[in-house]
């Protein structure tokens, strides 16, 4: 039988974490599948890209598009133009995209326009908020994908409501959790707490990068006040996303943070997960971190008005706080005084999602 060719796409930090287990699973079907990897370059700082290839044991990309600057339309358009050239030369049977970033939508669009089948992993999530660039990327990608792999029940319901035929939808679990399970021992071996002089349960981990929280000066000044006040209680560990660092500098706010807000470059996966595991509470606007904390049973406060991952609220340890930071500060206080949310692990978040996905793809392609 002729081997089928699959090109998987990565572009940003969360993509690497999701695609790593898929690459591994595809490799186990090496007799039937020719698995290639394309990195669009959307995130390309060493701390946002290279470190994940090393720590997650990912293959070196077969194609690197090097597109990382510009407006949404510029990034999306340039990725489409460059990815199309690869598709024309390589003629894959399938393109696999993950998540909801511009690289996801751009590569899915380029592929379907050439009549190439598209699989979307992490399909069906909806925040209901079309002012989020990610929501547009999710809607477009799901509307054009041929195979939709879903992480949680809300995703199944959303796709059904949107009229996606049942035959295209597969409930397979969460590939991001596959990586967490796979690297458990290596995460346990991280010495990051000792390096930073931290004790388990005696610090707060925060990440912020949503445009709605970090792109305007007033929101960012309010974030700085929140971090400084929170750090009176416990040290606050803040690995800063490049978007946020750039804006803190631009608005002249970097120097306003007190020393007990421990500012770090974006961390590698193993150190970041070790910090998550032992944090008293994680305060974040990330998508993926809501899921990881739920899996780990770590308290999570999400600083957003909505979430596309409602299962983390319904059964997990996540609490949606809105973006009013005094309200978030009160929630932090509640957790510090012992009012913790109990959670359970969502269905099929068991470390085997990628294998389930790849088995389906092997049969379909
Ligand atoms: C992107 C995704 C977002 C995801 C996030 C994960 C879109 C629309 N947004 O947001 O959904 O949650 O990645 O982290 O796709 N930058 C660097 N070096 C890097 C990466 C980013 O300097 O390695 C800076 C650049 O100034 C860039 C800015 O960050 O212009 C924004 O990067 P971009 O990829 O457009 O959006 P993110 O905010 O990273
Ligand atoms: N992460 C990391 N180092 C950091 C911050 C986050 O390795 O300094 C990991 C985190 O564990 C999760 C992923 O990056 O797996 C989430 O990425 P991000 O928050 O940038 O994107 P989102 O999930 O919001 O799209």
Does residue 178 lie within any of the structural domains?
no
51 plus 163 within the same structural domain: yes
Q: At what angle do helices 288-296 and 175-182 cross, to 10 degrees?
A: 50
**pLDDT at residue number 46:** 97
* Statement to judge: residues 142 and 206 lie in one domain: no
Structural domain count, the chain: 2
Do residues 159 and 220 both lie within one domain? no
Residue 182 confidence (pLDDT) = 98
Please indicate whether residue 48, judged by its CB atom, sits closer than 6 Å to ligand 1.
yes
Question: Which helix or strand (DSSP H or E) is residue 80 part of?
Answer: helix 72-90
Contacts of 288 (CB under 8 A, 6+ apart): 14, 17, 176
**Alpha carbons within 13 A on the beta-carbon side of 128:** 9
Extended strands (E) in the chain: 4-10, 33-39, 63-64, 94-98, 117-123, 147-150, 169-171, 204-207, 236-239, 261-264, 281-284, 300-302, 318-320
Q: Does the C-beta of 343 come closer than 6 Å to ligand 2?
A: no
Q: Which numbered atom of ligand 1 lies nearest the CA of 99?
A: 11
Could you give the CA distance from residue 149 to residue 136 in angstroms, rounded to a whole number?
Answer: 18
Question: Both tokens of residue 25?
Answer: 């699973």
Residue 179 forms part of a structural domain:
no
In a domain, 344, yes or no: no
Q: Residue 342: inside a domain, yes or no? A: no
The 10 Å Cβ neighbour count of residue 285 is 24
Q: Ligand 2 centre from 288 Cα, in Å?
A: 6
Which CATH number is 327's domain given? 3.40.50.2000
Is the Cβ atom of 298 under 6 angstroms away from ligand 2? no
How far, rounded to the nearest angstrom, does the alpha carbon of residue 340 sit from its chain's CA centroid? 25
Inside any domain, residue 263:
yes
Q: How far is the CA of 155 from the centre of ligand 2 (A)?
A: 21
246 lines ligand 1 (CB under 6 A): yes
CA–centroid distance, residue 192 to ligand 1 (Å): 25
Q: How many CA atoms lie within 13 A of 356 on its CB side?
A: 18
- The neighbouring-strand residues paired with 281 are 204
Same domain, 230 and 289: yes
Q: Are residues 59 and 28 in the same domain?
A: yes
Cβ of 39 below 6 Å from ligand 2: no
Residue closest via CA to ligand 1's atom 25 equals: 243
Question: Which strands sit side by side in the sheet containing 236-239, from one edge to the other?
Answer: 261-264, 236-239, 204-207, 281-284, 300-302, 318-320
Looking at the domain assignment, is residue 37 inside a domain? yes
Alpha carbon nearest to ligand 1 atom 32, residue? 243
Both 147 and 40 in one domain: the answer is: yes
- Report which of 103, 102, 114 is spatially closest to residue 38, judged by C-alpha positions: 103
The pLDDT, as a whole number, for residue 2 is 87
Same domain, 247 and 137: no
My answer on whether 329 and 355 are in the same domain is: no
> What is the full per-residue pLDDT of the chain (365 aa) written as tens digits?
789 999 999 999 999 999 999 999 999 999 999 999 999 999 999 999 999 999 999 999 999 999 998 999 999 999 999 999 999 999 999 999 999 999 999 999 999 999 999 999 999 999 999 999 999 999 999 999 999 999 999 999 999 999 999 999 999 999 999 999 999 999 999 999 999 999 999 999 999 999 999 999 999 999 999 999 999 999 999 999 999 999 999 999 999 999 999 999 999 999 999 999 999 999 999 999 999 999 999 999 999 999 999 999 999 999 999 999 999 999 999 999 999 999 999 999 999 999 999 999 999 88
How many CA atoms does the CB half-sphere of 77 hold within 13 Å?
Answer: 5
Residue-number span of the structural domain to which 276 is assigned: 185-336
Going from the Cα of 290 to the center of ligand 1, the distance in angstroms, rounded, reads 18
Query: Whose atoms come closest to the Cα of 308: which ligand?
Result: 2
Tell me if 343 is assigned to some domain. Answer: no
Looking at the structure, tell me whether residues 142 and 278 fall in a common domain: no
The SS3 assignment for 121 reads strand
Q: What is the pTM of this model?
A: 0.98
Measured from the Cα of 52, ligand 2's closest atom is: 7
Cα of 2 from ligand 1 centre, angstroms? 39
What is the CA(350)–ligand 1 centre distance, in A?
A: 29
In the set 39, 43, 120, 209, the catalytic residue is 209
Q: Do 207 and 327 fall within a single domain?
A: yes
| Residues 150 and 253 both lie in one domain | no
Active site residue 209: yes
Terminal-to-terminal C-alpha distance of the chain: 12
Q: What pLDDT, on a 0 to 100 scale, did the predictor assign at position 1?
A: 77
Which residue's alpha carbon is at the smallest distance from atom 3 of ligand 1? 101
Domain shared by 319 and 356, yes or no: no
In the prediction, which pLDDT does 365 show?
A: 80
Nearest CA to ligand 1 atom 31: 243
Of all ligands present, the nearest one to the C-alpha of 12 is 1
Assigned domain for 108 exists: yes
Task: Give the separation between CA 338 and CA 190, rounded to whole angstroms.
Answer: 27
Distance CA 143, CA 172 (A): 19
């Amino acid at each position: 039988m002729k081997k089928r060719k699959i090109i998987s796409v990565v572009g940003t930090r969360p993509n690497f974490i999701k695609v790593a287990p898929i690459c591994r699973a595809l490799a186990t079907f090496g007799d039937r599948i020719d698995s290639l990897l394309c990195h669009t370059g959307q995130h390309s700082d060493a701390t946002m890209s290279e470190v994940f290839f090393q720590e997650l044991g990912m293959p070196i990309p077969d194609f690197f598009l090097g597109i990382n600057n510009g407006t949404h339309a510029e990034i999306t358009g340039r990725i489409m133009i460059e990815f199309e050239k690869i598709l024309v030369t390589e003629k894959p049977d399938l393109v696999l995209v993950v998540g909801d970033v511009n690289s996801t939508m751009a590569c899915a669009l380029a592929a379907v326009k050439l009549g190439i089948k598209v699989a979307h992993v992490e399909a069906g999530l909806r925040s209901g908020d079309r002012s989020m660039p990610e929501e547009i990327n999710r809607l477009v990608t799901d509307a054009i994908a041929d195979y939709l792999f879903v992480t949680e029940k809300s995703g199944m319901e959303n796709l059904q409501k949107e009229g996606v035929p049942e035959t295209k939808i597969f409930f397979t679990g969460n590939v991001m959790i596959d990586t967490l399970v796979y690297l458990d021992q290596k995460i346990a071996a991280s010495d990051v707490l000792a390096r930073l002089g931290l004790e388990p349960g005696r610090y707060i981990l925060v990440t912020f990068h949503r445009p709605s929280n970090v792109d305007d000066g007033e929101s960012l000044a309010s974030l700085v006040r929140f971090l400084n006040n929170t750090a009176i209680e416990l040290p606050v560990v803040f690995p800063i996303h490049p978007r946020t660092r750039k804006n803190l500098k631009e608005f002249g706010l970097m120097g306003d943070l007190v020393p007990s807000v421990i500012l770090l470059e974006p961390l590698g996966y193993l150190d970041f997960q070790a910090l998550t595991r032992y944090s008293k509470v994680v305060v974040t606007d990330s998508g993926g971190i809501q899921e990881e904390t739920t899996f780990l049973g770590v308290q999570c406060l999400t600083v957003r008005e909505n979430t596309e991952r409602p299962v983390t609220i319904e059964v997990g340890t996540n609490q949606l706080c809105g973006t009013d930071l005094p309200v978030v500060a009160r929630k932090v206080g509640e957790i510090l005084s012992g009012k913790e949310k109990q959670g359970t692990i969502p269905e099929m978040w068991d470390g085997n999602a990628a294998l389930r996905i790849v088995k389906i793809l092997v049969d379909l392609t």
